A and B are shown apart, each in its own frame.
Chain A
Amino acid sequence: SQQGEEDPQALSIQEGENATMNCSYKTSINNLQWYRQNSGRGLVHLILIRSNEREKHSGRLRVTLDTSKKSSSLLITASRAADTASYFCATDGTGANSKLTFGKGITLSVRP
């Protein structure tokens, strides 16, 4: 079963607006990662935040992590039509031989 659960499942915004996506998880993690997938293609890594970090930026992306609430959010500022894609959070657990566990994803549509 998926460790991460994203919210909302779908999001539709106008170009230029900000998009905020949330992810909740259940167990202790080493890090949390966000990936993007364009329709029917492979996933692309966007950003990684470690369990001892609270906020990280990369270009128009801002990710926060609250380990006490077991939640993360991804903010895309000044969205573009090219940001239209599915976004997944993935958690890397703390156990030996841990693996990345992905959520079901959020579908973001950016209207031009």
Chain B
Amino acid sequence: KAGVTQTPRYLIKTRGQQVTLSCSPISGHRSVSWYQQTPGQGLQFLFEYFSETQRNKGNFPGRFSGRQFSNSRSEMNVSTLELGDSALYLCASSLLTIDYEQYFGPGTRLTVT
């Protein structure tokens, strides 16, 4: 089975721009979660989607949004980028059963200048 894929792997944007990141989960996984990882704050939960519905949301401003498509692929969008949005964005998929584990993609490294 192919693992979780994320595109693009690296991205450089300037302040004020917007960005869209993509995540393709493992086949059969209907849950996709997004995390932001920075040296200072660690791994912070952004949101989780299951069957095209947002199931959980972290404490991020409304500039961060996401969606999930019928094939379980997910995108997250960040509008009006700020320098502090520079981070590694990780996507993880799971079966969302009892005692589920998450399978992570390699991440998208976003640099905002």
Interface segment, A11-19, A43-51, A68-76? A43-51
B79 to chain A, nearest CB (A): 24
A101 to chain B, nearest CB (A): 7
The answer to whether A2 has its CB under 8 Å from any CB of chain B is yes
Interface segment, A20-28, A58-66, A77-85, A102-110? A102-110
Most buried by A among B4, B88, B90, B102: B102
The answer to whether B64 has its CB under 8 Å from any CB of chain A is no
In B49-80, the 8 Å CB interface with A consists of 55-56
Give the size category of A's interface with B.
20 to 34
* Neighbouring B residues of A102 by C-beta, 8 Å: 35, 42-43, 45
Partner pick for A40 among B43, B55, B107, CB 8 A cutoff:
B107
Residue of B nearest to A50 (CB): B99
A107 to chain B, nearest CB (A): 11
In the assembly, what is the distance between CA of A31 and CA of B92, in Å? 18
Q: Are B90 and A2 in contact (CB under 8 A)?
A: no
Per-residue interface assignment for chain B, residues 82 to 113, with 1 indicating a CB less than 8 Å from any chain A CB and 0 otherwise: 00000010101000001111111111010000
Q: Are A104 and B42 in contact (CB under 8 A)?
A: yes
A-to-B contact residues, CB < 8 Å: 2, 30-31, 33, 35, 40-45, 48, 50, 88, 90, 92, 97, 99-105
9 A-B pairs with least C-beta separation: A42-B104, A104-B42, A102-B43, A45-B101, A43-B104, A99-B56, A42-B106, A42-B105, A31-B99
Ordered by A's residue number, 13 sampled pairs between the chains whose C-beta atoms are within 8 Å are: A35-B104, A42-B90, A42-B92, A45-B101, A88-B43, A99-B48, A99-B56, A100-B33, A100-B102, A101-B45, A102-B45, A103-B42, A104-B43
